[in-house]
Structure 1
Amino acid sequence: MIQELKAGYGDQFEAALIQEIAQVGTFRDVPEGSKLIEIGEYIKGMPLLISGVIKVMREDPDGDELLLYYLEQGDTCSMTMSCCMGQTRSEIRAVAETDVRLIMIPVRKMEEWTAKYRSWRNFVFDSYNTRLNEMLHAIDSIAFLNMDERLINYLREKARVNQDNTLHSTHQQIAYDLHSSRVVISRLLKKLENLGKIELHRNHIEILEL
């Protein structure tokens, strides 16, 4: 466990903090597609991501989803931190994009470490700043980009976090993430295929040049 923590967070945390995390944290392995956090739930611990990718989404009153950002190795979710510290219900849904290994930190330790370890304070503040910028990017893409551009950015980012140019996503799943309709997404994907940017297959999408 110590080695896993050092691999993911050794550059950010001092040895004493790594030791404490290993002592009080609970390791979890979460399979791809599983929900880690649901909207409306109380969150009792903060996840530190050891490996894999988590996607974080919001939901509108009609139940439609919008992808906000991805969490990768060495990340945590600042919105989760806010819910933990404020003891409020979650306003986001977190789903394992790939198989995930993480460690859950008890809420009581989050406050203690903020006073005790400078590296922890820096990590928390940096996480807030990073996630805020990502949410602003998501808002900007909705406000200022057309769906063609949003789809291209989505495919690029999904390929990057998965480290694979073959995407095993249905048109409906992409539509959910982009808060669009399957018909619109299918039409735009076909357009990208005609331009030689991607290849559409029955169960996957192959990115050629985006």
Structure 2
Amino acid sequence: MNELLSLNYGHIFEPELLKEISEIGILKEVKEGDKLMEIGQYITAMPLLISGAIKILREDSEGNELLLYFLEKGDTCALTLSFNRGQRKSEIRAIAELNTILIMIPIQKMEEWSSTYKSWRNFIFDSYQNRLQEMLDTLDSIAFMRMDERLLKYLRDKQKLSNSNELQSTHQDIAYEMHTSRVVISRLLKKLELEGRINIQRNKIELLNLN
């Protein structure tokens, strides 16, 4: 764990903080599709991502999901700190988007280290800022972008995240994450295929030209 921490966070945290993380952190590997956090669950730890990606989802009263943002290498989800205050339950769902390696930190350490280490305090503040901006981007796309524009943005984000031109998702998967119907997504994907921008296969979409 010491080597992983140094490679991924050595440029951010003091040696003393890296030592503390290595002593209490729990190294964890999760597979694509594994659930790390469920809505209504009490949060006991926060993740430091070493590799892979985690998607953060919100759910409405009817069980429909909306993709809020992704966590990638070098990220954490500082929103877990706000959920922990007063022992509130989580209002988000976290699922591994890719095979992921992370270090789980006990939630109690977040505030303790914020008063002890300047680098940690800055790291958490930057995480708040980044997550807020990503949620605002999500809101903007819903409020101001047409559905076809939102779909293109979604496909580009997935392509960048996986560093691959193949998206292993069904039309229903995409509809869930974009909070719309499968019929709408299927129609828009077919249009993109006719334009030569994607190639639709069974449970897979080949991304050809999304510019």
Query: TM above 0.5, one fold?
Result: yes
Q: Give, in angstroms, the shift of residue 61 of structure 1.
A: 0.7
Q: Give, in angstroms, the shift of residue 203 of structure 1.
A: 2.7
Please give the residue correspondences for 1:44-63 in structure 2 after superposition, counting only pairs within 5 Å.
44-63=44-63
The separation in 1 between residues aligned to 2:106 and 2:38, in whole angstroms, is 18
TM-score (norm 2): 0.97
Partner of 1:19: 19
Q: Give, in angstroms, the shift of residue 108 of structure 1.
A: 2.2
Aligned length: 210
Q: Give, in angstroms, the shift of residue 114 of structure 1.
A: 0.5
Partner of 1:137: 137
Q: Residue type of the partner of 1:181?
A: S
- 1:136-171 Cα offsets, whole Å, 9 max, x none, are 000000000011000000000011111111000000
Determine whether 1:127 maps to 2:127: yes
Identify if the C-alpha distance between structure 1 residues 157 and 102 changes in structure 2 by more than 3 Å, giving closer, same or farther. same
Q: Give, in angstroms, the shift of residue 73 of structure 1.
A: 0.5
Runs of 4 or more above 4 Å deviation: none
TM-score (norm 1): 0.98
Please give the residue correspondences for 1:1-210 in structure 2 after superposition, counting only pairs within 5 Å.
1-210=1-210
The separation in 2 between residues aligned to 1:10 and 1:98, in whole angstroms, is 24
Q: Residue type of the partner of 1:107?
A: I
- Structure 2 SS opposite 1:57: strand
The separation in 1 between residues aligned to 2:185 and 2:178, in whole angstroms, is 9
CA contact (8 A) 1:57 1:68 kept: yes
Q: Residue type of the partner of 1:82?
A: S
How many percent of aligned residue pairs carry the same amino acid? 60
The separation in 2 between residues aligned to 1:201 and 1:7, in whole angstroms, is 38
- Structure 1 SS opposite 2:48: strand
- 1:159-199 Cα offsets, whole Å, 9 max, x none, are 11111110000000000000011110000000001111111
Q: Give, in angstroms, the shift of residue 57 of structure 1.
A: 0.5
- Structure 2 SS opposite 1:209: coil
Q: Give, in angstroms, the shift of residue 102 of structure 1.
A: 0.9
The separation in 2 between residues aligned to 1:84 and 1:205, in whole angstroms, is 39
Unmatched segments (≥5 aa) in structure 1? none
Unmatched segments (≥5 aa) in structure 2? none
CA contact (8 A) 1:53 1:71 kept: yes
- Structure 2 SS opposite 1:161: helix
The separation in 2 between residues aligned to 1:174 and 1:203, in whole angstroms, is 11
Q: Residue type of the partner of 1:164?
A: S
RMSD of the alignment, in Å?
0.9
Q: Residue type of the partner of 1:103?
A: I
